[in-house]
Copies of this chain bind each other. A is one copy, B any other.
């Protein structure tokens, strides 16, 4: 449950004197309707086109960047040549997840985000760097691929 709503978008846009346009609302709605997916600009564009909603690809790019700046979406790179976005959590306390990437089959799994607090406190104590967010990618072998290897 992400907790992000159009109302939150409206509030954060207002705080920066930006306008709530149909396009920006629509882009966010795509992410609300596709929870857990890591969508690229082209993905979002395609989904909207499939719903017969007219929007310019450049506008999708601009909306994604804006939504990321508003901390509504989180931008990430999986090395497939394009940026991907995922709906972020509403509060920093809510649990995010790590990404597990199988180097054999390429599958992307998720894992609840825990145990990072100790590490972040350690960073603050030793460097003075105050962590507000993190992104963790694990590379390895998923269960299925490991079972195949064992054979």
Q: Are A75 and B83 in contact (CB under 8 A)?
A: no
Q: Are B131 and A139 in contact (CB under 8 A)?
A: yes
Q: Are A142 and B115 in contact (CB under 8 A)?
A: no
- With a cutoff of 8 Å between Cβ atoms, the chain B residues found around residue A109 in the complex are 127, 129
Interface residues as binary, A109-132 with B (CB distance below 8 Å gives 1, 0 otherwise):
101001110111011001111111
Q: Are A127 and B111 in contact (CB under 8 A)?
A: yes
Q: Are A77 and B75 in contact (CB under 8 A)?
A: no
Within 8 A of B (CB), among A76-135: 77, 79, 83, 98, 100, 102-103, 109, 111, 114-116, 118-120, 122-123, 126-135
A136 located at the interface, meaning its Cβ lies under 8 Å from any Cβ of chain B in the complex: yes
Binding site for B on A (CB under 8 A): 75, 77, 79, 83, 98, 100, 102-103, 109, 111, 114-116, 118-120, 122-123, 126-143, 146
